[in-house]
């Protein structure tokens, strides 16, 4: 059996949904369909999830909700009308949205946690109603299909709103719920339920995670992830438009490292469930289903000395702590990390020198207030020679199984960057030797990616 997940661009309008149905019906193994909320129809359009966030915000701020509510309903209504699904389903969706809107009382708008949970409830409406529409579209074609609810089938989540994680009990529950079923199941991505019954969503782009969890839970043969590109490309085509050749096969480890640094085609948290159950992932294009796409698998044959992909992400900050004889001070790093832990700051990397240590943090998780507190505690409690925080830091990942045990890879990268006058702030190579990371200024990011692409693939 195959689990197929379709992203927002594949469900943006009736024409795209018709393609989804054709793809699913072309292969009888495609029995479990995971859907996102309708995405952008054009470059300037707004995703339904973003419309729902705006609606939730209007409710919280006590504004008139008529217009933002109508904007969401209109998206589903135009799909239902073109697919000739009847007026009933639009009414059902409108009622569902109204009930969600009314679930937050005036008093509760003063409670930040209640509001955050409410935003999750609203966001989840995007995929939930999308799944209902797609199930109805299958039925309208005379196909046996049904919508499945994450609540009834055991998608149990926990953790912060908008950043939930799976409770591992879900695998057993989902496996049981789908041990045996007839026809096609349409499952909404992106959200699940806490044990207390409230809705929780994964991070943005989280329908990929749902698909991977379901593929693992039902031990699917393949997890097909349909999006709007033919393949995963070795570099972001927005930065290197001339990249034409996609990646045929890559390993989970490679995808994980590239997705981490911004390979937007696949959510980085979505890899783990498929890896654990050893389900291959196939990234494919809804608009060109004849293309085989990219297979992501446990292992593959590699050419020594080759790079699979280069990814780059902006938005990091760097805390640089200097202290003479740091290498002799037992427990120094532990104390740094304890301060970060107590202040609720998670770190990404900690490259270190003899007398210095850098802590690289995602800037969006490091507010000005947090920065002030952390820096003052580091200064007070660790008596370093200096603590400097730099912002606008970018991280570039050069990744490839073929890099392991090959000499000269880093030299090639640094030579390419030097030739373009790009200063390297940090280099970090993981123990697996399948990647190295280079820290540079954000403003140099695109130039650096182009230089590295030319050097490794040119
Ligand atoms: N609709 C959600 C988002 O826009 C989740 C997803 O599409 O995967 O982030």
Q: What is the pLDDT of residues 346-402, one digit of tens each?
A: 998 898 889 999 999 999 989 999 999 999 999 999 999 999 999 999 999 999 999
Ligand 1 centroid from CA 317, angstroms: 26
Whats the size of the chain, residue-wise? 458
Q: What is the mean pLDDT of residues 131-135?
A: 98
Q: In whole angstroms, give the CA distance from residue 373 to residue 367.
A: 10
User: Whose CA is closest to atom 6 on ligand 1?
Assistant: 205
Alpha helices, DSSP H, located in 38-87: 48-60, 66-82
Our answer on whether the CB atom of 161 is closer than 6 Å to any ligand 1 atom is no
Ligand 1 centroid from CA 159, angstroms: 18
DSSP string, 359-425: EEEEGGG--HHHHHHHHHHHHHHH--SEEEEEEEEEEEEEE-GGGTT-TTHHHHHHHHHHHTTPPP-
Residue 315: what pLDDT?
A: 93
Ligand 1 centroid from CA 320, angstroms: 35
Place of tokens 């947090």: 370
Residue 334: what pLDDT?
A: 95
Q: In whole angstroms, give the CA distance from residue 321 to residue 324.
A: 10
Closest atom of ligand 1 to CA, residue 202: 5
Q: In whole angstroms, give the CA distance from residue 33 to residue 50.
A: 23
Domain ranges of the chain: 2-214, 309-457
Q: How many of the other CB atoms lie within 10 Å of CB of 423?
A: 10
Q: What is the mean pLDDT of residues 39-44?
A: 96
Ligand 1 centroid from CA 265, angstroms: 12
Q: What is the pLDDT of residues 58-68, one digit of tens each?
A: 999 999 999 99
Q: In whole angstroms, give the CA distance from residue 259 to residue 264.
A: 6
Q: In whole angstroms, give the CA distance from residue 19 to residue 357.
A: 52
Residue 269: what pLDDT?
A: 84
Q: Which fold would CATH assign to domain 2-214?
A: Carbamate kinase (3.40.1160)
Our answer on whether the CB atom of 167 is closer than 6 Å to any ligand 1 atom is no
At 428, the pLDDT band (50, 70, 90 cuts) reads: confident
At 158, the pLDDT band (50, 70, 90 cuts) reads: very high
Q: What is the mean pLDDT of residues 119-136?
A: 98
| Ligand 1 binding pocket mutation candidate from 45, 127, 204 (most atoms within 8 A of CB) | 204
Contact between 136 and 85 under an 8 Å Cβ cutoff? The reply is yes
Our answer on whether the CB atom of 36 is closer than 6 Å to any ligand 1 atom is yes
Closest atom of ligand 1 to CA, residue 127: 1
pLDDT over 90 at 429, yes or no: no
Our answer on whether the CB atom of 190 is closer than 6 Å to any ligand 1 atom is yes
Write down the pTM of the prediction: 0.89
Residue 268: what pLDDT?
A: 77
- DSSP-derived letter for residue 38 is -
Does residue 198 sit in helix, strand or coil? coil
Our answer on whether the CB atom of 207 is closer than 6 Å to any ligand 1 atom is yes
Ligand 1 centroid from CA 55, angstroms: 16
DSSP string, 200-267: EEPSTTTHHHHHHHHHHHTT-SEEEEEESSSSB-SS-TTT-TT----BSEEEHHHHHHHHHTT-TTS-
Ligand 1 centroid from CA 210, angstroms: 11
Q: What is the pLDDT of residues 198-243, one digit of tens each?
A: 999 999 999 999 999 999 999 999 999 999 999 999 999 999 999 9
Q: What is the pLDDT of residues 176-197, one digit of tens each?
A: 999 999 999 999 999 999 999 9
Ligand 1 centroid from CA 229, angstroms: 17
Closest atom of ligand 1 to CA, residue 204: 9
Residue 430: what pLDDT?
A: 76
Ligand 1 centroid from CA 202, angstroms: 9
For 324, phi and psi rounded to 5 degrees?
Answer: -60, 135
Q: In whole angstroms, give the CA distance from residue 31 to residue 34.
A: 10
Domain spanning 309-457 has what CATH number?
3.30.2130.10
Ligand 1 centroid from CA 41, angstroms: 14
Contact between 292 and 222 under an 8 Å Cβ cutoff? The reply is no
| Ligand 1 binding pocket mutation candidate from 6, 37, 209 (most atoms within 8 A of CB) | 37
Residue 444: what pLDDT?
A: 96
At 100, the pLDDT band (50, 70, 90 cuts) reads: very high
Closest atom of ligand 1 to CA, residue 47: 4
Q: What is the pLDDT of residues 249-294, one digit of tens each?
A: 999 999 988 888 877 677 778 999 999 999 999 999 999 999 999 9
Q: What is the mean pLDDT of residues 315-331?
A: 94
Residue 365: what pLDDT?
A: 87
pLDDT over 80 at 17, yes or no: yes
What does pLDDT average to over the chain?
Answer: 95
Q: In whole angstroms, give the CA distance from residue 55 to residue 67.
A: 9
């Amino acid at each position: 059996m195959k689990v197929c997940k379709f992203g927002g661009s594949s469900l943006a309008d009736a024409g795209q949904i018709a393609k989804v149905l054709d793809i699913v019906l072309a292969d009888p193994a495609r029995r479990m369909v995971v859907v996102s909320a309708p995405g952008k129809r054009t470059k300037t359009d707004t995703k339904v999830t973003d419309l729902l966030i705006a609606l939730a915000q209007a409710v919280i701020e006590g504004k008139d909700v008529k217009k933002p509510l109508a904007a969401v309903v209109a998206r589903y209504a135009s799909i239902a009308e073109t697919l000739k699904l009847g007026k009933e389903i639009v009414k059902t969706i409108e009622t569902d949205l109204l009930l969600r809107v009314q679930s937050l009382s005036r008093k509760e708008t003063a409670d930040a946690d209640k509001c955050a949970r409410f935003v999750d409830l609203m966001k989840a409406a995007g995929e939930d109603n999308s799944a209902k529409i797609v199930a109805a579209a299958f039925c309208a074609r005379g196909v046996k299909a049904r919508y499945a609810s994450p609540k009834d089938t055991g998608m149990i989540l926990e953790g912060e709103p908008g950043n939930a994680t799976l409770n591992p009990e879900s695998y057993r529950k989902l496996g049981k719920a789908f041990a045996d079923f007839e026809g096609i199941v349409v499952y909404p991505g992106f959200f699940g339920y806490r044990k207390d019954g409230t809705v929780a969503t994964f991070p943005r782009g989280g329908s990929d995670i749902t698909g991977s969890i379901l593929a693992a839970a039902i031990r699917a043969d393949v997890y097909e992830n349909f999006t709007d590109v033919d393949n995963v490309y070795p570099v972001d085509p927005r930065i290197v438009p001339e990249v034409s050749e996609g990646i045929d096969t890559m390993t989970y480890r490679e995808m994980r490292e590239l997705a981490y640094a911004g390979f937007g085609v696949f959510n980085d948290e979505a890899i783990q469930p498929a890896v654990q159950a050893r389900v291959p992932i196939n990234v494919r294009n809804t608009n060109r289903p004849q293309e085989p796409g990219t297979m992501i698998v446990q292992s593959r044959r590699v050419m020594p000395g080759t790079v699979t992909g280069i990814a780059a992400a902006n938005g990091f900050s760097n805390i640089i702590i200097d202290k003479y004889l740091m290498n002799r001070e037992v427990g120094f790093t532990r104390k740094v990390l304890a301060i970060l832990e107590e202040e609720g700051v998670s770190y990404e990397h900690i490259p270190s020198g003899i007398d210095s240590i850098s802590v690289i943090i995602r800037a969006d998780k490091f507010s000005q207030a947090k920065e002030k507190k952390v820096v003052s505690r580091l200064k007070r409690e660790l008596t370093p020679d200096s603590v400097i925080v730099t912002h606008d830091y970018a991280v570039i990942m050069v990744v490839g199984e073929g890099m392991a045990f090959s000499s000269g890879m880093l030299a090639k990268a640094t030579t390419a960057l030097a030739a373009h006058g790009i200063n390297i702030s940090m280099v970090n190579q993981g123990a697996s030797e399948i990647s190295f990371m280079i820290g540079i200024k954000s403003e140099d990011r695109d130039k650096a990616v182009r230089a590295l692409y030319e050097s490794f693939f040119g």
